[in-house]
A and B are shown apart, each in its own frame.
Chain A
Amino acid sequence: MYIVDHRTPFFAITGALLAISLGAIVFFRLPLSIDFAGGSLVEVSYTDARPELSVVTAAIHQLALGEVSVRESGTSAITVRTRTLSPEEHDKVLLALSNNNTQALTELRFNSIGPSMGAELGKKALYALLGIIAAIMLYIAWAFRTVSKPVSSWIYGLVVVIILIHDVLVPAGFYAVLGHYTGSQVDSLFVVALLAILGYSVNDTIVIFDRIREHLRTNEHDKLVEPFDVTVGKSVTETLGRSINTSLTVALALLALVFIGSKETMDFALVLLVGVVAGTYSSILLAAPLLIPLAKRFAKDAVITDTKKKR
């Protein structure tokens, strides 16, 4: 079977993508939004023409609030990010934005989070991610316990964990690049997106593993000795149609969210889209083929054909 027989180049490709993502995270960083770093965000929309950004920026800088970021958002709004503001400072910012009440505006949102609270939210998000990965690994090891031959069910769990880490890192790398150019920051929605990707990706991998499980059972029942890589290859081929079709449908729903959804959820949908694509190729090109070198390493009695020799 093509993918399994040529797994080494595919490992190289996925590895390269992973390395690029990691590089993007290291070089561009994932700037934390006030959700996790603490701080205040004020977004106002102007009833009449929006004033020049430089004018507004100068007015805000006069308040001496430390490091501030003033950006245009949408067609008539301006977003100001600062350290955590007191109610008085908040009023001053609004005054500065309205040019001392000469320009009519409405405050679209005001979000202010203390630094300690932000740090806690960040930790919670991280624990949720780790907790889910651990729980999924345990469940897989348990669900595949009946087919521990030739490969222990823990190997399946391990592979799923590798896949999950891959599927989180690739969209995170994408987001680092996106953030570098658009100023998007890591907020709670981004974390939700990563969590959703975990759920989606594991489902994708399970479908292929389930097919392997079924073949192993049938072979055992029929007393048929089949090389493990042949079983894996067969399973990948048989589930290929389903994997691609499901990804297509999910991608369609997400594309709708990217183009029609609110601007708040656009980054979210983009990250999900990248995650779904990564989840699909990783389950096909990485998950099942990875079982083979791991089986070679950990399951000595597994029958595996030589990679050089075509089936």
Chain B
Amino acid sequence: MQSRLSRIFSALVVLVLAGLLGWFVLSTNGADSKYRVKQGLDLAGGTELVYRADTSAITSDTQGALNSLRDVIDRRINQFGVAEPLIQLERSSALAGTPEDRLLVELPGVTDVTAAKDAIGRTPILEFKLGVGATSTSASTSAGYIDTGLTGRYLSSAELQFSNTTTGVANSPVVILHFNDEGAKLFEKITAENVGKELAVFLDGVVISAPTIQEVIAGGNATITGRFTAQEARTLVQNLNFGALPVPITLISNDTVGPTLGAQAYNAGLHASIIGFLLVALFMILWYRLPGIIATLALVIYVIITIAIIKVVPVTLTASGIAGFILSIGLAVDANVLIFERMKEELKAGKGAQEAATIGFGRAWPAIRDGHLTMIISAIILFWVGTSLIKGFALVFGFGVITSLISAVFISRVFLRAILPEEGGRVMRFLLSSGFHTGTSAPKK
């Protein structure tokens, strides 16, 4: 049995830690903070576009083609000037008919869908431009470069090789360009006239590589020996091979939420959470008295931990996520209710306060464990099978349930044990009973 002092000490430690975490949660709400809660498009406003990628024409390396599709779209979106866009490949689940590849594009803050769709759908341009002056600026814009007339139209293919002779560095990646006949002639002419200058490769107006012409190149093959990693070289080859969209895409879903609607949903969700929490706390304190106060404290810490997890992971918060959060508050309360009801029974049976608490926790544990585990299983399945909206719910709900487990068995226990005396007097008995009982009646059989 721990001494009273050490029990109080552990409670204080938990309080201080929770306070620090609370300070973290409150101090990271600024617009520039890295740990600001990331709001989903339904709350912050923005556009979500889903494209179907038609890979039927691609015979080999479908994944490579899809990856380069994503890179191409990514570059176009970046040029469009969207803060924190999300571009990802998805494969529709095999559970629902013929699987198909999808491209998901999330554009926070963008509500002018037409402009965004145009930016994504237009044909990209691959260009070769000469640097003005020998190895000039490495600016990423087209300023400082002049057109050569050589474009992706003249490229027949690009490939990745690993060389250990030309550069002297073992296994350094090399990108080989193959031009068609017309391109070969043009390329030979350009290189002949501009040895020592930079010949930059532009994709959609952005420099993706800026090698220096080392000699006249005839025959229609060019070698780029940039200082890039194998991965970068692979990306470059993909980009060059698929100057145009490598995979045809069609828009199959479009969801735009205006910023006003999003803000309304967010504020309403926030207010509902706060009021809901206060109602629950009020009920707990009125009905369960002293343990109710402890449970409320544990709940506050529970809320702090959950928000901290949402911030750090980070979980993108959506309207359904807020609903999952409110529901998990209810379940966190339940764990406490279970413990207190059990404790009350032990008190009625005439046990001392400390002993009743210990037995109460032990008795309540299997039910809490089974209940929480089934909910965690549910959350995992939801996250696994669900659509993005359901995932948003599952993630917050899942983290909430895990936190609830910790808060119920650990935090409530530490506080309760720190406060309870070994044996309860009349006042203590009143404080520990609940509802309409006065707590002074003799133990019933």
Contacts and interface: CB of A to CB of B under 8 A. Distances in A.
Interface in B353-368: 363, 366-367
Of the candidates B117, B327, B329, the one having the most CB atoms from chain A within 10 angstroms of its own CB is: B327
26 contacts: A45-B260, A87-B114, A91-B114, A111-B254, A112-B254, A114-B252, A188-B320, A189-B389, A199-B331, A199-B374, A200-B327, A200-B331, A203-B372, A203-B374, A238-B345, A246-B333, A249-B280, A249-B337, A250-B330, A250-B334, A253-B329, A256-B272, A257-B272, A261-B269, A265-B268, A268-B323
A265 B370 contact: no
B287 interface: yes
B341 interface: yes
Nearest to A196: B327
Interface in A198-220: 198-200, 202-203, 206-207, 210-211, 213-214
Contacts of B382: 128, 132, 195
Contact of A191 (B319, B374, B390, B397): B390
A206 B390 contact: no
A242 B366 contact: no
Interface string B255-272: 111101100110111011
Given A127-B95, A128-B390, A249 B330 contact: yes
A107 B114 CA distance: 13
Interface of B: 42, 50, 52, 92-93, 95-97, 111, 113-114, 117, 252-258, 260-261, 264-265, 267-269, 271-273, 275-277, 279-280, 283-284, 287, 319-320, 322-324, 326-327, 329-331, 333-334, 337-338, 341, 345, 363, 366-367, 370-375, 377-379, 381-382, 385-387, 389-390, 393, 397, 435
A241 B389 CA distance: 35
Interface of A: 43, 45, 87, 91, 106-114, 116-117, 119-121, 123-125, 127-128, 131-132, 135-136, 139-140, 143, 188-189, 191-193, 195-196, 198-200, 202-203, 206-207, 210-211, 213-214, 238-239, 241-242, 245-246, 248-250, 252-257, 260-265, 268-269, 272
**Secondary structure class of chain A's binding surface, majority of residues:** helix
Contact of B370 (A120, A143, A189, A193): A143
B363 A241 contact: no
Given A203-B371, A207-B367, A249-B330, A107 B111 contact: yes
Contacts of A206: 367, 370-371, 374
B256 A107 contact: yes
**Secondary structure class of chain B's binding surface, majority of residues:** helix
Contacts of B93: 120, 124
